[in-house]
Amino acid sequence: MNISLTEKQRKYIDEKVKSGDYMNASEVVREALRAHELNQQKLEDLRVEIQKGIDSGISPRNVKDILAAKRKEHGIQ
């Protein structure tokens, strides 16, 4: 596999390897890909939750009502 990187990306990877946190550039790239995959999953989870909120309709409560209920629930005046 051949991957092209910008100069900025190359420098970033080199700095990470030089810091001693990674043995080589491949480790840096693999970790970046794992982080990207996790972020993509989080985004998809958020999209699902947002859609649930949209689909649930409009609440009859306003923000003050919701805050008051939470304060009561937690024993806060």
Overall pTM > 0.75: no
- Contacts with 31 (C-beta within 8 Å, 6 or more apart), sequence order: 22
Per domain, the residue ranges of the chain are: 7-73
Q: What are the per-10-residue average pLDDT scores of the chain (77 residues)?
A: 96 98 97 98 98 94 95 91
How much is the pLDDT for 69?
Answer: 95
CB 62 within 8 A of CB 46: no
CB 53 within 8 A of CB 37: no
CB 8 within 8 A of CB 1: no
How much is the pLDDT for 1?
Answer: 87
For residue 74, which phi and psi values (nearest 5 degrees)?
-100, 5
For residue 22, which phi and psi values (nearest 5 degrees)?
-135, 150
How much is the pLDDT for 19?
Answer: 98
